Amino acid sequence: MKFVKKIPSVDEKLSKKLVSYGWRKIKEPKNLLTTILASIPFMIFNGILAILVTIQFYNPIENILANRSFNVNINILDLIYFIIASFMLIIVHELIHMVFIPNFIKSDKVYWGITLYGGFVAMTEKISKIRFIIISIMPLIVLSLVLPIILGLFNLLNGFIMFLIIVNAMASSVDIQNLFLVLFQSRKSSYILNNGFETYVK
């Protein structure tokens, strides 16, 4: 596992080698901007899903209607708290991805880092399709579906935590988009291998 400052770029030699060995590049967005834009429908869906789960235990709209008013107070401490919490959320999100990668600690083909666009985990390890699905979907399931249920059962949800849960769900849109791209462009028994922004199946 290596810490890097930016998402690894495409290795052209590796791309040619993969193709010569029978790997096939899937159809997908070619850079980060188009990837994010293409993931907007998943962003909306994920956000709605997280809201539907969370409001079963904590519904701020009901409180607003009951009080017939609401107040928004923001101070410096709240802003600092939000920045720290958001940073921790990014780290936890990426760590959840990472722990489901086989042998991630010893592997020199697993990379992680934090950029202005958020955190990332990248790898050039060959993994099974089912493992790819698990790695992709787990941060959404753990942080935006399971966590609100646990916190809700213990009456620990509030507006701020709910906001972070929804943000994580929406930020998982690229993960879910990648999952669907692989899901519909590969066989059940396929293996997946990433090379920068390129994804290959075999």
Residue 70 has pLDDT above 60, yes or no: no
Tell me what the mean pLDDT of segment 43-48 comes to: 97
| Residue reference for tokens 């998982």 | 172
Domain map of the chain by residue range? 2-201
pLDDT in tens, 83-112: 889 889 988 999 999 999 988 888 888 888
| Long-range contacts formed by 109-116: CB under 8 A, 24+ apart | 110/1, 110/2, 111/1, 111/2, 111/3, 111/4, 111/8, 112/1, 112/2, 112/3, 112/4, 113/3, 113/4, 113/5, 113/6, 113/7, 114/90, 115/5, 115/6, 115/7
pTM value surpassing 0.75: yes
